[in-house]
Amino acid sequence: MDGYVLAQARSQCFYPRFERKPESPESTHYCPGCGHGILHKLIARVLDEFGVQDRTVFVSPVGCSVFAYYYFDLGHVQAAHGRASAVATAIKRTRPDSVVLCYQGDGDLAAIGTAEILHAANRGEPFTVFFVNNAIYGMTGGQAAPTTPLAAVSTTTPYGRSALNDGYPLKMAELLASLEAPVYVERVALGNGKQITAAWRAIRTAIDVQRRGLGFSFIEVLSPCPTVWKLTPVEAQKRVRDELTKVFPLGVKCDRRRQTVPRSQPPAALPADQVEVLLRGAEAEGEWPHPLACQPVDVRLKIAGFGGQGIQLLGEVIAQAGMYAGLHVSWLPSYGPEMRSGTSNASVRLSTNEVDSPVVSRPTHLIALNEPSLRKFLASVEPGGMVFYNNESFPTDCVRSDLELVAVPFTQQADRLGDPRVANMVALGAWLERVPCLPDGALELALKAHVKSESLIALNREAIQQGRLLCAQRRYRT
């Protein structure tokens, strides 16, 4: 080799032999004149120049370039059709130091994966996308692409692409450049030496944008596909120059490098012991459990009313207080459409023994905060059970002689306290007066877990107290 100066050696980002390829490891599987080979070389050259081979991850799509891993000596993740940008998003986010190259064809990126690329670009994901646009589905044998020019014939546009039937060729570079987040978007072509040199510069800029942590970069490459176009390699390049660049104008579509500051590194991971403190942490403050003074407990409580009456909160407070009292507990909301409007109900179990089913179908206790709820659930109450109803009295046609019926106007009392929202706590007081299964300390802890402000806690306490008093004063019917 004496006397020669090696102007261009094979990139070290390529394997010397393509051992991963099942046949003929000396050559690629790309057709003569295919744009992929040229683009692979340009990318590899830039990676060499930046010295980022070890930290580069190549995301290959479905299409002819699915086998890019035969050639590039890089980390490889092969993605489902259209999902390369979603896959690349997660790779970059979980390995922020990586250089992620997302390599997608026109079907992959501009048809099946339109949502993924649009949102990755809109989030400004700091990786680089190479969009290889050859205006046809190459690997599957020549079907129309979203980028096929009008009037162009393909196996699925046998009479030529019609704007009325198939829409217009999709201009992805322009589309993505219209977003606010992308830092660099350019369209290049592989139609001749000059265009290829310009493509190399664009690739260099795009990978540099990523290397500097600036943000999303996107290079659309108009690329020849001689085999499927049924042209010679020379004719195919001519078509790229003369025809495709007319439909897809070359050039920089957006360049925000100057006004973009490098992204800050994501925060370091928290050590495991601190994670444990954070997540298992300070939920349960204070001394507990509070041992029970009363008899064995097996409460199956149904609480029902309008959405907005604090039904679910009341259920949570009772169940959580039960936990602090050392009972087995469960709370199950009716989380269905009731949540938005109409009625709401909660199932609460408090038991000395393990709770079998959290679903309360035959309640021992019913707290009904409105009449529809009373009517809906009264029949389900277990004989011998208790019903607490939010009114002066029960409707005459809605009573049962085998139950203890307690009518207390919870809402009216809450209004007197100045806040109708605490009607649920008045109800709680009334219920506790007849079912004294929760010690005050446990209740206090549960209230604190749900109500943050001291003044509101005081109001809730007062409401509970009023509920107790009202219930104690009332003669209940059996």
Which 374-413 residues touch other proteins, going by CB under 8 A?
none
Taking CB under 8 A as the binding criterion, the range among 162-170, 241-249, 331-339, 363-371 that sits at the site for other proteins is 331-339
**Residue 154 binds other proteins (CB under 8 A):** no
Which positions from 244 through 273 interact with other proteins, judged by CB under 8 A? 266-270, 272-273
Shortest Cβ distance from residue 72 to other proteins (Å)? 10
- How many other CB atoms are there within 10 angstroms of residue 464's CB atom? 25
**Residue 212 binds other proteins (CB under 8 A):** no
Helices 423-434 and 311-324 cross at an angle (nearest 10°) of 40
For the stretch 30-67, what's the b/e string if a residue is b when 16 or more beta carbons lie within 10 angstroms of its beta carbon?
A: bbebbbbbbbbbbbbbbbbeeebbeebbbbbbbbbbbb
Question: In the structure encoding, which two tokens stand for residue 251, read together?
Answer: 């050039």
Closer by beta carbon to other proteins, 266 or else 418:
266
Distance of CA 342 to the CA centre of its chain: 30
Beta strand ranges found along 106-255 (DSSP E): 128-133, 184-189, 217-222, 251-255
Report the alpha-carbon distance of residue 322 to residue 303 in Å, rounded: 16
For the stretch 149-171, what's the b/e string if a residue is b when 16 or more beta carbons lie within 10 angstroms of its beta carbon?
A: beebebeebeeebeeeebeebbb
Taking CB under 8 A as the binding criterion, the range among 81-89, 176-184, 228-236, 451-459 that sits at the site for other proteins is 81-89
From the list 355, 398, 399, 456, which residue makes contact with other proteins (rule: CB under 8 A)?
355
**Residue 106 binds other proteins (CB under 8 A):** no
Phi, psi of 231 (to 5 degrees): -130, 165
Closer by beta carbon to other proteins, 457 or else 469:
457
**Residue 25 binds other proteins (CB under 8 A):** no
**Residue 80 binds other proteins (CB under 8 A):** yes
**Residue 197 binds other proteins (CB under 8 A):** no
**Residue 180 binds other proteins (CB under 8 A):** no
From the list 37, 307, 358, 409, which residue makes contact with other proteins (rule: CB under 8 A)?
358
**Residue 12 binds other proteins (CB under 8 A):** no
Specify the pairing of strand 298-306 against strand 251-255: unpaired
From the list 38, 39, 47, 57, which residue makes contact with other proteins (rule: CB under 8 A)?
57
**Residue 108 binds other proteins (CB under 8 A):** no
Q: Which residues are CB-neighbours of 419 under 8 A, at least 6 positions away? A: 459
- How many other CB atoms are there within 10 angstroms of residue 2's CB atom? 3
Helices 84-94 and 114-123 cross at an angle (nearest 10°) of 30
**Block residue for tokens 């942590």:** 213
**Amino acid (1-letter code) at residue 4:** Y
**Residue 45 binds other proteins (CB under 8 A):** no
**Residue 275 binds other proteins (CB under 8 A):** yes
**Residue 356 binds other proteins (CB under 8 A):** yes
**CA atoms in the 13 A half-sphere facing the CB of 348:** 27
Taking CB under 8 A as the binding criterion, the range among 42-50, 68-76, 302-310, 384-392 that sits at the site for other proteins is 68-76
Shortest Cβ distance from residue 352 to other proteins (Å)? 14
Helices and strands, number each (H, E), in the chain:
17, 13
**Residue 53 binds other proteins (CB under 8 A):** yes
Report the alpha-carbon distance of residue 220 to residue 198 in Å, rounded: 12
Using CB under 8 A, count the residues that bind other proteins: 71
**Residue 316 binds other proteins (CB under 8 A):** yes
x/- site string to other proteins, residues 118 to 137, per CB under 8 A?
Answer: xx------------------
Which positions from 439 through 458 interact with other proteins, judged by CB under 8 A? 449
From the list 74, 222, 443, 464, which residue makes contact with other proteins (rule: CB under 8 A)?
74
From the list 44, 99, 190, 408, which residue makes contact with other proteins (rule: CB under 8 A)?
99
Shortest Cβ distance from residue 254 to other proteins (Å)? 21
- How many other CB atoms are there within 10 angstroms of residue 192's CB atom? 12
From the list 27, 178, 357, 393, which residue makes contact with other proteins (rule: CB under 8 A)?
357
**Residue 280 binds other proteins (CB under 8 A):** yes
